[in-house]
Amino acid sequence: MKIDLLSKNALVGAGTQGIGAGIAIELAKCGANVTVISRNESKLRNFVSLLPVVSDSQKHQYLVADFLKFNEYKILIHNFFKTNSIDILVNNTNGPEPGLALEKNVDDFQAAFDLLFKTVCETTSLALPYMIKKKNGRIINVSSLSVKEPIHNLVLSNSIRSAVAAWAKSLSNEVAQHNITINNILTGYFDTERIQKLISVESKKNNKSVEELKKARENKIPMKRLGRPEEYGHLVAFLASEYAAYLTGTSIPLDGGLANIY
């Protein structure tokens, strides 16, 4: 099965490292024109310059925007869509800070809502008119296993990602008639900067070594290892292709079997 995304335009959030980078690279390998969103322009410029090019007509670009500053992000993303149309939208942002429910206040939840929900909703609403007109489109939300079962010490992510999943399912039913699919990927433990940060915070809080905590996470996974970003990209490329044209409204665990033991 060869996935061909030539002439397709893809927009990938938080794409210069970790899972976002794995997604952007795989979509580019399949021929898509990839636009990467991130807040660090120097990293963006370097990353985009290294994206694979498999066709003379293929072009990649970047958009400098900070998901943590929603009002600024809203202006930038509106300006982007004035001159760009998207066939494949990958909603992915940096995650909110870890913490327990009793440690967070309403302002923390509002900030997480702006980061994880409002940016996704705003970007999707701008991408949809072109998709509806074309009668084709792919929307893929990078989510978390916490949608199935809350993860300890990640109350902000647990709460808002569940809201995104419910919204995405509702919207998928409305746009399916236009051959637009919307799917969530429930992310398990991947070898990324994000998980390294979470382990580091846990290490300081519980006075345990980083190596011990990493091994404990790996031992929970039936495959006994962390996922690789390129493996994430493979699933996104499939969902973005015509092979997944009848798959919508789903939340797919990508976790080495971890969800099966919840």
Other CB atoms within 10 Å distance of the CB of residue 102: 7
Nearest to 222, CA basis, from 258, 259, 262, 186:
258
Tell me: the pLDDT tens digits for 12-30?
A: 999 999 999 999 999 999 9
Task: Tell me if 200 is assigned to some domain.
Answer: no
Is 196 a domain residue? no
In this structure, is residue 214 part of a structural domain?
Answer: no
Whether residue 210 lies inside any domain: the answer is: no
- Please, are residues 240 and 176 in contact by the beta-carbon 8 Å criterion? no
Contact 227, 190 (CB under 8 A): yes
For the chain, helix (H) and strand (E) counts, in that order, are: 9, 7
Residue 60 structure tokens: 């990649």
With tokens 């404990």, the residue in question is 216
**Which domain does 152 fall in, by range?**
9-188+228-261
Q: Count of CB atoms within 10 A of residue 205's CB?
A: 10
CB atoms within 10 A of CB 85: 15
The model's pLDDT over 112-163, given as tens digits with 9 standing for 90+, comes to 999 999 999 999 999 999 999 999 999 999 999 999 999 988 999 999 999 9
Token pair listed for 28 = 């580019």
For residue 165, is it within any domain?
yes
pLDDT the model gives residue 260: 66
User: In this structure, is residue 198 part of a structural domain?
Assistant: no
Nearest-CA neighbor of 110 among 156, 57, 155?
156
Task: Note the pLDDT of residue 4.
Answer: 98
pLDDT tens digit at each of 262 positions of the chain: 899 999 999 999 999 999 999 999 999 999 999 999 999 999 999 999 999 999 999 999 999 999 999 999 999 999 999 999 999 999 999 989 999 999 999 999 999 999 999 999 999 999 999 999 999 999 999 999 999 999 988 999 999 999 999 999 999 999 999 999 999 999 999 999 888 888 988 888 888 998 999 999 999 999 999 999 999 999 999 999 999 999 999 999 999 999 865 4
Tell me the Cα Rg of the chain: 18
Read out DSSP for 111-147? HHHIIIIIHHHHHHHHHHHHHHHHT-EEEEEEEEGGG
Give CA–CA dist 120/125, Å, rounded: 9
The model carries a pTM of 0.94
In a domain, 201, yes or no: no
Pairing assessment for the beta strands 33-38 and 251-254 based on DSSP bridges: unpaired
Identify whether 65 is part of a domain: yes
What is the model's pLDDT at position 196? 87
Domain count across the chain:
1
Q: Which structure tokens are listed for 255?
A: 């976790």
**Alpha helices, H only, 105-228:** 106-113, 119-134, 155-175, 193-206, 210-220
pLDDT at 123: 98
CATH classification at residue 119: 3.40.50.720
User: Residues 16, 20, 21, 23: is their CA dihedral positive or negative?
Assistant: negative
Neighbours of 190 (CB within 10 A): 19
